[in-house]
Structure 1
Amino acid sequence: MTEDNPVVLGAIVAPDSSQADELLAWAAEQCGTHGKQVRGVLMEMPPHTPDQPRPKAVLRDLHTGERYSILQDRGPLSRGCCLDTDVLSRASVVLRRALAEKPDLVIVNRFGSSEAEGDGFTEELLALIEAGIPLLLIVNTRYLEAWRHFNGGMGDEIACEQAAVAEWLGSRLSVDAC
């Protein structure tokens, strides 16, 4: 925490999540290399096979390595959101454990449509912020206004660039990332 912003809350803002996912993973690695305890979940996209109607999306627990497949396979003709909210709810245990452990940083795959609507990881994010646990996540530009409303102007918006993430890590967590 710093004097000018007691809440350490960073959002990598990106129109496309794939590069941001890589930056979030890089940030977790940098923090770990510098002796910081990091908890949370990262989004991973396992290789897509031709027999799958949609790519699979998996949340990986940074501490245990457990994986949560968060997209439902609703068939090749399905349209719209296929987020498996039951699996997402089960994955929320990772963030609740992080709240109890009070690590140096919690990484969350994203503040997305579910969170913008008050669902998803909303309760866990609020609890982490209230507890003063540093938090880093991704926000797609589509949800930026909802994110700003959610955090009440307390969060740092970080460009989707390695140098910007490195600067944030250095200024907010004293991690000298290269």
Structure 2
Amino acid sequence: MPLTPAPAIAAIVPPPGTRVDAMLREFIADLQARGLRVRGLVQEACPESWGCKFSLSDIETGQRYPISQNLGSQSTACSLDAAGIADATQVMRRIAAEGADLAVFNRFSGLEADGEGFADEMLQVMSQGIPVITVVQAPNLPAWRHFTGGMACELGATIDELERWLSSIGAR
């Protein structure tokens, strides 16, 4: 009986409190050094002068998209900037149009679980057979599993696990 290849869709599921972004950037840099065309978005902290907490950075161009708003120290409202997310979707649409060896979506979070954020772009890229990796926090796993129809791998937050997954899908 032949082995079934691993799905070309993966979620990094970090333990609570784990900072996964630096590890993901290291993994991406290594893949790029090996000649893979890795495209997508990674989350970064904004410089203090920007007035936001987080931005998304285009892996290919370095362009940053602020995705949070400074609502003041007394605010309890969500600081997510939907306009910043909408602006960043162009990066993922470009991948769907031009391809990649690996597409990186910064997160599958509450927006995507509700069919918003990058949900449409994720489905478009996945439907073209482009390998996809994202970060999914444990509370969003049920929505992720439903979103992917159970066709995704769930990985620990280590470079070794990411490398094994990449190798299992036949990537260079």
Query: Structure 2-normalised TM-score?
Result: 0.90
Q: Which runs of 5+ in 2 are unaligned?
A: none
Q: Could you say which residue in structure 2 is the equivalent of 1:126?
A: 123
Q: Is 2:13 aligned against 1:13?
A: yes
Q: Could you say which residue in structure 2 is the equivalent of 1:73?
A: 70
Q: 1:159 aligns with which of 148, 156, 160?
A: 156
Q: Could you say which residue in structure 1 is the equivalent of 2:95?
A: 98
In 1: Cα distance, 2:17 partner to 2:56 partner? 14
Q: 2:169 aligns with which of 155, 165, 172?
A: 172
What's the CA shift for 1:80?
3.6
In 2: Cα distance, 1:43 partner to 1:124 partner? 17
Q: Could you say which residue in structure 2 is the equivalent of 1:22?
A: 22
Indicate how the Cα distance of structure 1 residues 35 and 173 shifts in structure 2: closer, same or farther if over 3 A, else same. Answer: farther
Supply the AA of the counterpart residue of 1:174.
A
What's the CA shift for 1:44?
0.6
SS in 1 for 2:169: helix
Segment of structure 1 superposing worse, 10-19 or 155-164: 10-19
Q: 2:56 aligns with which of 59, 65, 71?
A: 59
Indicate how the Cα distance of structure 1 residues 171 and 130 shifts in structure 2: closer, same or farther if over 3 A, else same. Answer: same
Q: Which runs of 5+ in 1 are unaligned?
A: none
Cα deviations by residue, 1:88-109 (Å, 9 ceiling, x for unpaired): 0010000000111111001111
Q: Could you say which residue in structure 2 is the equivalent of 1:109?
A: 106
How much is the aligned-residue C-alpha RMSD, in angstroms? 2.0
In 1: Cα distance, 2:90 partner to 2:112 partner? 16
Indicate how the Cα distance of structure 1 residues 140 and 26 shifts in structure 2: closer, same or farther if over 3 A, else same. Answer: same
Indicate how the Cα distance of structure 1 residues 20 and 169 shifts in structure 2: closer, same or farther if over 3 A, else same. Answer: same
In 2: Cα distance, 1:174 partner to 1:132 partner? 12
In 2: Cα distance, 1:126 partner to 1:150 partner? 9
In 1: Cα distance, 2:75 partner to 2:38 partner? 37
